[in-house]
Amino acid sequence: MTLRIEDYALIGDLQTAALVGTDGSIDWLCLPRFDSAACFAAILGDKDNGHWRMAPEDAGTCTRRGYVGDSLVLESVWETRTGTVKIIDFMPQRDATPDVMRIVECVSGRVEMTSTLRLRFDYGSIVPWMRREDGHRVAIAGPDSVWLRSEPEVKTWGQQYSTVSSFTVREGEKVAFVLTWHPSHQPRPDLVDPYEALESCISDWEEWAHRCDVKGPYREAVIRSIITLKGLTYAPTGGIAAAPTTSLPEELGGVRNWDYRFCWLRDSTLTLGAMIAAGYQDEAEAWRDWLLRAVAGDPADLQIMYGLSGERRLPETELPWLAGYAGSRPVRIGNAAVDQLQLDVYGEVIDSLYLAREAGLAPEDHAWYLQLSLLGFLESKWREPDEGLWEVRGPRRHFVHSKVMAWVAADRAVRTLEQDPALRGDVSRWRAMRDEVHREVCEKGYDPKRNTFTQYYGSKELDAATLLIPQVGFLPPEDPRVIGTVDAVRAELGTQGGLVRRYSTEGRTVDGLPGDEGAFLACSFWLANALRMTGRGKEARELFERLLSLRNDVGLLAEEYDPVAGRQLGNFPQAFSHIALVHTALALSADEDAG
């Protein structure tokens, strides 16, 4: 039976991550980076596409599980007829090569354990050659090698193109397994003590989490989201992946399956804001620096997303040998949306750099000149249609959110020059652009009969992104047009339980795709924030707490939620959802502190 998306938990080493199911199976892992080919891809196919299950013999799902304190160290507990056992899963922050460590500890009684390892390189398509060497089982195919050992050594054998281990643990006994990836042309990797690694991993995470400045009723939810964002960070560059997975569907059995293992510029302002507000200046600075490197060059070549190190080529291809999660095909790697024109990203980049300056991050001399260059390009382009923030694969439109973010770009430039007149720049020029964009959006993007901003000029459709209008400062929260937009989005895009969809998918008029999708969790957090800003604090808090209840048992959220089936949808865990959670929690807590 396919596990639900929310039945998985995340472990990672700040360069890649794995998903561990409630049944003790690691069903997704890319090595050595988030965007490398998976060696465990069962979540997108079946067990023959690669997985590593460790559990009591003949047992099903675990009795309970949770992270150890404020860390990404996962403990799963099985209570069996003969005893109780726990498995501790983690990936220590690496010195050289990535390790997955699984420590089995018998809590009481006596438990028979089974481990089944099926390594399948290149997204489940390549069965490696296995051999024994220096106390390891070694799997090799092409550039990849994976080394498996246990302490103490347990009985292990090959069976049906898998490596099986069977052993018994009694109260107080422990067995540790270490799986290490290594380039196949290099000699055996250095041995790492799994018990020392566990202590260091927990202390590193606890020390990092202790820096969190957030207090108040939602601290637990915020710190878990911040830990998740840290877990999605590619430490060598500071880039943050939108999710560690590809092709987990927005509709079960549908085609809306995308690769999110890249860094979106759109996330930049919200990510910076979340990190700064939570007290993580160093992480905010690393993300800002990644952003500056990624977007360097001709502003006409600005992309909406980049690879973990700022790579620009992310070609989209399909993997026909994978059946897809719950039959949701195609499975895609790469993302063709990288080539889209999305004018809002210029506003997001400029807003991010404005926020970094306001927050007092160490200045970068070239950052202002980069903003001027981007703004100059946007000045000549903002009147054009684009694909919009939702990366629609239908015709280009004059999306209202894109125009609003063009206004944001000009507005932040004006504010910067007003605060520091010594900077180079023509403030009157950017004021004129700001005023023109504002006037056009209010004339062409607003429907006075329905008292709401629409998805694009001349449209009757709505878009949850217009909930951000008061948050970015385009109009004040008390403006009747803002209040009307919030009410219209809630009424027309709302779902069971008060969540909202991004936009209507009926008729394929906007995104050019068949099928439907769930409620979008980030948009639902935006609605809670918009309700708060428009004076409806009680409703905002009720919606926010409803959203918190949708997190899985270890505090994680995917991209979307199906309110009818009552399950999470889309890539998991999703940075955008957790960023929106943090911002809304901080805003509600600030209101409470203010009385």
Q: For the segment 405-447, what is each residue's pLDDT rounded down to a tens digit?
A: 999 999 999 999 999 999 999 999 999 999 999 999 999 999 9
580, pLDDT greater than 90: yes
Q: What is the pLDDT of residue 516?
A: 84
pLDDT of residue 369: 92
Mean pLDDT score, 558-584: 97
Which residues have C-beta within 8 Å of that of residue 1, sequence separation ≥ 6?
A: none
The per-residue pLDDT for 591 is 77
Q: Is 595 a residue whose pLDDT tops 60? A: no
Identity of the amino acid at 206: E
pLDDT for 365 equals 80
What whole-number distance in Å separates Cα of residue 573 and Cα of residue 46?
20
CB atoms < 10 A from the CB of 224, how many?
A: 22
* 455 in Cβ contact with 461 (< 8 Å): yes
pLDDT at 309: 95
pLDDT of residue 593: 66
Hey, what are 467's tokens?
């909930």
The answer to whether 228 and 10 are in contact (CB under 8 A) is yes
DSSP annotation of 550: T
Average pLDDT, integer, range 386-393: 90
* Average pLDDT estimate for 280-303: 92
Question: Does residue 370 contact residue 292 with C-beta atoms inside 8 Å?
Answer: yes
- The mean per-residue pLDDT over the stretch 344-356 comes to 94
Check pLDDT > 90 for residue 393: no
pLDDT at residue number 507: 65
In this structure, how many other beta carbons lie within 10 angstroms of the beta carbon of residue 178? Answer: 22
The one-character DSSP state at 135 is T
**pLDDT reported for residue 334:** 98
More confident call, 56 vs 134: 56
Local confidence band at 187 (pLDDT 50, 70, 90 cut-offs): confident
Helix then strand count (H, E) for the chain reads 13, 26
Whether 142 has a pLDDT exceeding 70, the answer reads yes
- Calculate the dihedral angle through the C-alpha atoms of 475, 372, 270, 6, rounding to the nearest 10 degrees: 120
Tokens (6 digits) for 404: 């609003």
Q: Identify whether the C-beta of residue 324 lies closer than 8 Å to the C-beta of residue 247.
A: yes
Compute the C-alpha angle 467/472/473, nearest 5°: 105
Among the listed residues 554, 577, 552, the one whose alpha carbon sits nearest the alpha carbon of residue 4:
552
Please give the residue that has the higher pLDDT: either 307 or 518: 307
- Displacement of CA 498 from its chain's centroid (Å): 23
Q: Give the chain's end-to-end CA distance (angstroms, integer).
A: 50
Which ranges of 420-467 does DSSP label H, i.e. alpha helix?
Answer: 427-444
Q: What is the pLDDT of residues 460-510, one digit of tens each?
A: 999 999 999 999 999 999 999 999 999 999 999 999 889 999 998 776 567
DSSP collapsed to 3 states, 294-326: HHCCCHHHCCCEECCCCCCCCCCEECCCCCCHH
Residue 267: closest CA among 213, 308, 304, 314? 304
Asked if residues 256 and 514 have their Cβ atoms less than 8 Å apart, the reply is: no
Encode 418-430: b = buried (16+ Cβ within 10 Å), e = exposed.
Answer: eeeeeeebeeebb
Query: What is the pLDDT confidence band of residue 594, given thresholds at 50, 70 and 90?
Result: low
Question: CA separation (Å) from 337 to 36, 200, 293, 340?
Answer: 19, 40, 20, 5
Q: Give the global pTM.
A: 0.96
CA 42 vs CA 20, 322, 362: distances in Å? 11, 9, 44
What one-character DSSP code corresponds to residue 399? B
pLDDT single digits (tens) 544-554: 999 999 999 99
Q: For residues 102 and 174, is the Cβ–Cβ distance under 8 A?
A: no
Please state, as a whole number, how many other Cβ atoms lie within 10 Å of the Cβ of residue 353. 26
DSSP category for residue 421: T
Could you read off the pLDDT of 174-183 as tens digits, one per residue? 999 999 999 9
pLDDT at position 78 is 98
Distance CA 228, CA 37 (A): 22
Q: Stretch 225-235: mean pLDDT, rounded?
A: 96
Pair of tokens at residue 238: 């500071």
* 171/519 Cα distance (integer angstroms): 46
Average pLDDT, the chain: 95
Task: Tell me if 15 sits within 8 A of 235, measured CB to CB.
Answer: yes
Which residues, 6+ apart, have CB-to-CB distance to 260 below 8 Å? Answer: 241, 242, 243, 245, 246, 335, 559, 571, 574
Mean pLDDT of 165-194: 94
Residues 6+ apart with CB under 8 A from 128: 119, 120, 121, 139, 140, 141, 144, 146
Confidence band for 249, pLDDT divided at 50, 70 and 90 = very high
Tell me, what DSSP letter sits at residue 508?
Answer: G
Tens-digit pLDDT profile for residues 43-66: 999 999 999 999 999 899 999 999
pLDDT value of residue 508: 57
pLDDT of residue 537: 96
